[in-house]
């Protein structure tokens, strides 16, 4: 069994000491503040200065997280009106924001143009809308097509956005599309950027680079036909997966940057400003969830631990366990790490459907009533995508920082929703 990080043990002790887990609050999340800072620093160090790094708000839109990232120099990528407002509320403005919503209304297009944010155009119909709205918004930011390079899907189809029939962007290889794209950029000088995003988890370096290379070639062709530097920036999306099997950070930003530099040196020449949109790679390993084991049972000879962490916080893991497995650690009621008495067991959640199981037949220390269960690598998506099945409230989240004396200092990032909050949400 892999040794557990010392800060996880300290975190479990701190949670117990501060009474963070109660009948009313049997589940709590944590964000590693120093870990976030180190991750952003590693990202910046891996790429040259003409790269601009936008955080995918969908990965973790809590205000405290966005403010922390903004303070570290990250910009913001929003994909919905709500995410746009989250970014604005955290202090982002103008060109600090990229807007990628795939289904934009006229009102949100007008708002993004008026803000001066970068607007990525998903389809030809959308471009026609933008043309009509531009006279109202003279101070708009960069505008350009989102391109689907149609290079194929990765190992998780739901996370792949560059397949033949993807719903995202303009399909580059469909008959007539490339020429229309070239004509639109030639006819409209305000089209000055281009965007692609091949996918994230389950996407190989090779697949991501293949898609990006096609869009770089398109940008160069646009500039050549225009006879000037019409395309000033290229957004290459995110695409760096996360290792959920251990604490090791792999792949790294340096490995990805080196691969892209080898395959697509034009990105590193300074010919274009380059934008990235990492989300999961920034936050996943900088968060964890701690849940109370309420009770246990045996069914069909298998040990089952009923916990308060299920589909309401680990939605993807519950519904796609093969694609989104999570590492789990066991602690006793005092917060001491449990290491012995391994048994095969199911780790079940609180939702009222049979599939609400975070881990099936997991071989780990036997969980007992009153124990604590830690779900690792949950800093991305597990906090920002609550599933309100059974009207379960979203849990409290704390940022944590380890002091020089080894003590953990907690900062409240989000209060647990009350039942009244949930009632207002559901209506």
The whole-number pLDDT of residue 334 equals 97
Residues in the chain: 427
Q: Where are the domains of the chain?
A: 6-31+284-426, 101-276
User: What tokens appear for 197 in the block?
Assistant: 């995003």
The secondary structure of 258-278 as a DSSP string is: HHHHHH-GGGGTTSSEEEE--
The whole-number pLDDT of residue 306 equals 98
Q: Say whether domain 6-31+284-426 belongs to CATH 2.40.37.10.
A: yes
The whole-number pLDDT of residue 116 equals 98
The whole-number pLDDT of residue 157 equals 61
C-beta separation of 189 from 230 below 8 A: yes
282 by DSSP, 3-state: which? helix
**Topology classification of domain 101-276:** TIM Barrel (3.20.20)
The whole-number pLDDT of residue 363 equals 96
> What is the CB neighbour count within 10 angstroms for residue 110?
18
The whole-number pLDDT of residue 386 equals 80
Instruction: Classify each residue of 331-362 as buried b or exposed e, where b means 16 or more C-beta atoms within 10 Å of its C-beta.
Output: bbeebebbeeeeeebbbbbbbeeeebbbbeeb
Return d(Cα 67, Cα 236) in angstroms, integer: 24
pTM of the model: 0.96
Dihedral of alpha carbons 373, 378, 384, 385, sign? negative
The whole-number pLDDT of residue 11 equals 96
The whole-number pLDDT of residue 273 equals 98
Query: Which residues of the chain are modeled with pLDDT < 70?
Result: 1-2, 152-165
Q: ∠ CA 11-279-76 to the nearest 5 degrees?
A: 115
């Amino acid at each position: 069994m892999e040794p557990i990080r010392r800060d996880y043990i300290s975190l479990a002790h701190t949670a117990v000491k501060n009474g963070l887990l109660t009948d009313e609050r049997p589940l709590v999340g944590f964000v590693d503040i120093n870990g976030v800072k180190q991750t952003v620093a590693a990202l910046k160090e891996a790429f040259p200065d003409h790269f601009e790094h936008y955080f995918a708000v969908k990965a973790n839109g809590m205000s405290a997280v966005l403010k922390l990232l903004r303070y570290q120099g990250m910009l913001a990528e929003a994909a919905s009106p709500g995410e746009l407002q989250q970014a604005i509320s955290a202090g982002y403005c103008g060109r600090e924001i990229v807007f990628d919503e795939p289904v934009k209304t006229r009102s949100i297009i007008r708002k993004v143009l008026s803000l001066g944010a970068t607007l990525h155009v998903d389809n030809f119909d959308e471009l026609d809308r933008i043309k009509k709205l531009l006279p109202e918004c003279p101070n708009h930011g960069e505008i350009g097509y989102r391109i689907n390079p149609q290079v194929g899907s990765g190992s998780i189809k739901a996370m792949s956005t560059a397949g033949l029939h993807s719903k995202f962007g303009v399909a580059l290889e469909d008959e007539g599309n490339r020429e229309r794209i070239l004509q639109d950029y030639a006819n409209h000088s305000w089209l000055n950027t281009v965007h692609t995003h091949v996918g994230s988890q389950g996407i190989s370096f090779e697949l991501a680079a293949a898609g990006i290379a096609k869009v770089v070639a398109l940008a160069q062709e646009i500039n050549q036909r225009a006879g000037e530097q019409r395309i000033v920036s290229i957004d290459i999306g995110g695409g760096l997966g996360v290792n959920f099997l251990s604490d090791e950070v792999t792949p790294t930003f340096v490995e990805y940057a080196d691969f892209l530099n080898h395959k697509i040196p034009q990105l590193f020449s300074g010919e274009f400003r380059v934008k990235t949109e990492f989300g999961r790679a920034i936050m996943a390993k900088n968060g964890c969830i701690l849940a109370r084991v309420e009770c246990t049972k045996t069914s069909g000879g298998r040990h089952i631990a009923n916990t308060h962490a299920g589909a309401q916080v680990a939605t993807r893991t519950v519904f796609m366990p093969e694609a989104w497995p999570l590492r789990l650690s066991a602690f006793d009621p005092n917060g001491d790490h449990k290491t012995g008495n391994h048994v095969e067991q199911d780790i079940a959640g609180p939702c009222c459907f049979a599939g609400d199981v975070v881990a099936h037949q997991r071989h780990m220390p036997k969980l007992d009533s009153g124990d604590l269960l830690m779900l690792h690598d949950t800093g991305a998506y597990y906090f920002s995508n609550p599933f309100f099945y059974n009207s379960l409230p979203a849990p409290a989240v704390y940022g944590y920082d380890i002091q020089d004396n080894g003590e953990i200092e907690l900062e409240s990032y989000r209060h647990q929703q009350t039942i009244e909050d949930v009632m207002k949400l559901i209506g």
